Amino acid sequence: MKINTFVGIITYYERITNSRMGNPRYFVIIQNQETGETIKGNTQSDAKIGYILTDYIKEPKIFTYHKAHNNIIFDKVERL
């Protein structure tokens, strides 16, 4: 599994159904700050990212994601 990291800003997010364990999940659209590319995907199930994704919405953050069956899954978000 290839892990990708980039700096971006969330342009859109929507709460989707919780995981089986009841943890929050989101559909997210993020704009890459370096390339301007828009990346769409869901947050990882049962991961910390579901709780901290919406903190500091308007500022750039470091996002980590991977692809699984042609879907993008955001694993981690960190402040710069």
Mean pLDDT of the chain: 93
Name the band, by pLDDT with cuts 50, 70 and 90, for residue 58: confident
Query: pLDDT tens-digit profile of 28-52?
Result: 999 999 999 999 999 999 999 999 9
pLDDT of residue 14 exceeding 90 = yes
pLDDT of residue 55 exceeding 90 = no
Name the band, by pLDDT with cuts 50, 70 and 90, for residue 57: confident
Q: In sequence order, what DSSP letters do the residues of 33-76 get, joined into one string?
A: TTT--EEEEEEPTTSTHHHHTTTTTTS-EEEEEEEETTEEEEEE
